Amino acid sequence: MTPGFFKWSLVTSLLLVAFLFTQCGKPFADKGDLIYSTDASGLASPMGGVNPQSSLEAFERTVYQVTRQNCTSCHRSSQQPIHANDDSQVAHNALLNQYKINFTNPAQSRMVKKLRDEGHNCWSNCENDAQEMQDAIVEWKEMIEAEQAPPVPAQNFKTTAQSRTILAERDLVTAGTVIHTAMAGNATLTAPMVLRPAVGMNPAYVEAPNNGVDNNLGAADPAAGIARFTISSPAARTNGALWGLVNIGSTSDDSFYAGINAAAVQSWTSPVTNGLFRWMRMTGNHNLAVGMNTVTVRERKNGAQLAKILYTPDQNFIPGGEGTAGTITLRYPLDALGVAGASLEVKLEDYDAFSYRLSALRINTTRNLYVANIRVLLNGQYNPQHSNYTLVDQMVPAGGAPLSPANMIVLKEGGEATDKISFAFEILEFR
């Protein structure tokens, strides 16, 4: 072998590796900073009332055929979710445990929207590929439904009125201020940018580790770590403010570069926060387009930590708290359900472009109240994937109490401008 041929082979190999790396999204981090189950073997059927084996067999004949044919270069083992894994059970559980499939509205499944809306690694024409994936999910659902046990009749449940649209509920809280947020756990990363898990009261965050060596990179430095956040907007936003929830340890670790869509990235420097995550605004005015938007954050000084992005067209809005900006509380009077003086409340946050996060579910009551099996309804429909609160079974004392410590991800259907939330109770009665 001649030296020239060896050099040519080495360069070609490196270029191929670089291409695969850049095409495979986020090799160093998985979506989301919540863990719902660490025991995939005990996963319940996504449709309810079906043996998990039936769901697996349906998956093997539908979506698995598509992913094994087109996604093994990245999602076989190296990149989460590993939905093209050699073990079909592992692949099946990866999609369901990480909420990539929406059986209620298959077109809203992240597996479909990644192709249709983001053009993620399409194998032919993105629209055709997205439709192929959507059809496979529909077929998976239909095969499951063919064996599904009869559902509990809806009339057995007491159901609250629907909320206003999520956008209308948010407008009531923020006096019309529009807020878009994106979390570190959902960012697409390019090395050396990495995702650090939540610890104690601190949220998950991204950073380019300094490893004991400080740097100060240029805006186009090819060695920079990158985090790309996705924000979905139902309308164009202009001259808005961009905020970040940051932790800055020293002036040697105090800045990023950031920009939205095709806008050039700008330097973004923050004061030292002494180990606490604080909201810091990026200088300048910023715009969002209708639909999907990408906020690109590039490494400038390694060691700077970023947990969350917030965009608002309201120049006067100042985020509050350490990560709760954009969170609203939905409240439901329960008088019409036969428990006068009681109410339900839950916190809702725009988790990412595809889902909401519910937390802090609570009942307020003037008398002892027995509550069991709570279903979250999106636009009046129950999706068995949204089952965290079906486990509630407790006596709530007079004065009220939390119902569940769990957070729950609810897959979006139409987005904040149209989606409405309500709740149904199998048991709700004074005792």
Question: Can you give the residue ranges of every domain in the chain?
Answer: 18-145, 154-174+326-430, 180-312
Query: Cβ neighbours of residue 283 under 8 Å, at least 6 residues apart?
Result: 266, 268
Q: Which of 375, 307, 319 is nearest to 153 (CA)?
A: 375
pLDDT at site 425: 96
Give 283-316 pLDDT, tens digit per residue.
Answer: 889 999 998 999 999 999 999 999 999 998 888 8
Regions of the chain where pLDDT drops below 50:
1, 5-6, 11, 14-49, 151-154, 322-324
pTM: 0.52
pLDDT at site 213: 82
Amino acid at 391: L
pLDDT at site 146: 77
Rounded Cα–Cα distance for residues 182 and 227 (Å): 11
pLDDT at site 43: 35
Q: Write out the two tokens for 257.
A: 């570069």
pLDDT at site 2: 55
**3-state DSSP call for residue 37?**
coil
pLDDT at site 36: 32
pLDDT at site 105: 84
pLDDT at site 4: 55
Rounded Cα–Cα distance for residues 314 and 293 (Å): 18
**3-state DSSP call for residue 282?**
coil
How many beta carbons lie within 10 A of that of residue 34, not counting itself? 18
Which CATH number, 2.60.120.260, 3.40.1190.20, 3.30.390.30, 3.30.565.10, labels domain 180-312? 2.60.120.260
pLDDT at site 176: 61
Q: Write out the two tokens for 45.
A: 């059927």
Q: Which of 309, 285, 279, 289 is nearest to 297 (CA)?
A: 309
pLDDT at site 9: 54
Give 20-58 pLDDT, tens digit per residue.
Answer: 444 443 333 333 333 333 233 333 334 444 567 888 888
Rounded Cα–Cα distance for residues 361 and 340 (Å): 19
Q: Which residue has the tokens 């209708």?
A: 290
pLDDT at site 55: 87
